Amino acid sequence: MTAIVQPAAPRAFDAVGGFLGQRFHANREKRLKDPLLAEEFIRLHERKTHTIFHWTKLYDDWFWLGEQIGKWLDASAYAALIADDQELLARVHELLERLARSQEGDGYLGITARFHRNPVRGMELYEMYYVLHGLLVCADLVQSQVALETARRLGEYIIRTWGPEPGQFPLAGRYPGNGHDGGEGTLILEPIVLLGQQTGDARFIEWGERTLLKWDEWLDAYPESVHTCGYTPMKQFAAGEKDVYELREPIHAHTFHMTLLGLAALYNATGKTEYRDVVLGAVDRLAGEWIFLTGGMSSSERYVPRHFYHPHNDIEVCPQHTWILLLDQALRWTGEARYAAEIERDLFNHFLAAQLADGSNWSYMTPLNGRAQEPYGPNCCNAAGQRIAGRMPTYLYGVRNGSPAVLMYTESQATLRPPGLPAITLRQETDFPSRGVVTIHVQPEQVAEFSLHLRIPPYATGAQVQPGDGEPMPAPAGDFVVIEREWKAGDSVRLSLP
């Protein structure tokens, strides 16, 4: 579907500095490029065992570690292209080849030996979700046919094993692969639909719609499966008819976000507006009612009744990372500044508070009032942290309604290529968020008339924008200010954010 906002491509960046740049590079250098960490992740798939303290573990339990290589590939492909890090990019290609070689003949791709699964084990749909995402990101960003073919074979395995047909496993209930309490299977919708879009194979998208029609029936049959909910309750929440904690008690925040991302993918693939309306309705209600001051959410991983939902409880990294992805999708569809404002609020406050100063690890939980959980290794949350941090600079710039746009502020430089216009390089000179003064240098390849869109944060009441040597003009807080004029190399805009 046509997007109002297209975020900057990873290859568009010449430099990323400032606070966000520091956090991005720390994640790249100290975590993604840690050779032992990535080696551990790929060997899980190659050996299907894991050695800890001289004893060997066979994965027949519910561990999530099979996801790790997918999140690493996703984060590393973005980070390598943004930073033009050829060493990291070569490592991505190496691990893609090794992962492809670990795939079994029937398409299974995981960390469990055949004799320990039936035909999979506890959390493998969750793990396959992230492995598919990592493969599809690499197929898209670095044009890896190895990644695309590996993803296609895994997708075939999934739609052959789970689904609405006789002899297939349902995506809810205590069946193999459906995860905690049997309530995580429906999250696989998003990467399967994305696979259909990237391969052009409509079977994957059709499978997604057919299984969606079964969500209510499957989840009604297994009330103990509380990680997420059926499609009808999602529509009721989006319409204001139910509260989020009533959809499934207590609903898991991260899994709920992942199923919403599946509906978003279905809208992008089919154009059926009901899917988009459910996602936007749910995002708007969560943003208005369930997000803490710092942009984080969840209470010990869940949305719970309001009298239990308070800032002393643990706030998990995982739902923040899928929340940022939902906000990014809403921004693409609508172009509305409020969605970028929520991304900024979470990134600059709660999300990055979970990252260690040197970038090597992330806390699983960071309460609003209290002490962050001591980081430990590998888990779902430190991998979720590295995934968003790896693509974080793409949220700085974009093309909005065909024009260059600055969406967030940090010292950086990127070249945008809006349709019908010459390439336009934007460079931010600022120490934001320490101070609110931003100078934006505008460098089109040739003289051209176009609009420059600058997002003004909602807290910046009294903001002013000054094009070149002109008079300062008021800029409305919480919206975009649009400067339409003829631009040439050497032009600049000064933005003052109180």
Window from 54-63, 80-89, 343-352 with minimum mean pLDDT: 54-63
3-state helix, strand, coil in the chain (%, to 5): 50, 15, 35
pLDDT single digits (tens) 208-247: 999 999 999 999 999 999 999 999 999 999 999 999 999 9
- The answer, yes or no, to whether residue 52 has pLDDT greater than 60, is no
Window from 43-47, 173-177, 337-341, 390-394 with minimum mean pLDDT: 173-177
What's CA 192's distance to the chain center, in Å? Answer: 16
* Strand intervals (E) in 266-402: 302-303, 397-400
Tell me the C-alpha to C-alpha distance, in Å, between residue 385 and each of 12, 196, 291, 378. 23, 27, 18, 11
Q: How many CB atoms lie within 10 A of CB 167?
A: 7
What's CA 383's distance to the chain center, in Å? Answer: 12
How many H-runs (helices) and E-runs (strands) does the chain carry? 17, 16
Q: How many CB atoms lie within 10 A of CB 359?
A: 22
Region of 85 on the Ramachandran plot (φ > 0 left; ψ -120 to 50 alpha; else beta)? beta
More confident position, 258 or 376: 258
Do residues 190 and 145 touch, judged by C-beta distance below 8 A? no
- The answer, yes or no, to whether residue 201 has pLDDT greater than 90, is yes
Mean pLDDT calculated for residue range 336-362:
97
Extract the tokens encoding 257. 């976000």
- pTM comes to 0.97
Mean pLDDT calculated for residue range 34-40:
95
Do residues 60 and 125 touch, judged by C-beta distance below 8 A? no
Tell me the C-alpha to C-alpha distance, in Å, between residue 436 and each of 12, 394, 406, 439. 25, 21, 15, 10
Do residues 357 and 28 touch, judged by C-beta distance below 8 A? no
Extract the tokens encoding 494. 């000064």
pLDDT of residue 59: 56
Do residues 443 and 423 touch, judged by C-beta distance below 8 A? no
Task: Give the pLDDT band (50/70/90) at residue 50.
Answer: low
How many CA atoms are closer than 13 Å to the CA of 399, on its beta-carbon side? Answer: 20
Do residues 10 and 50 touch, judged by C-beta distance below 8 A? no
DSSP 132: H
Extract the tokens encoding 492. 């600049």
pLDDT of residue 55: 47
Facing residues of 455 across strands?
480
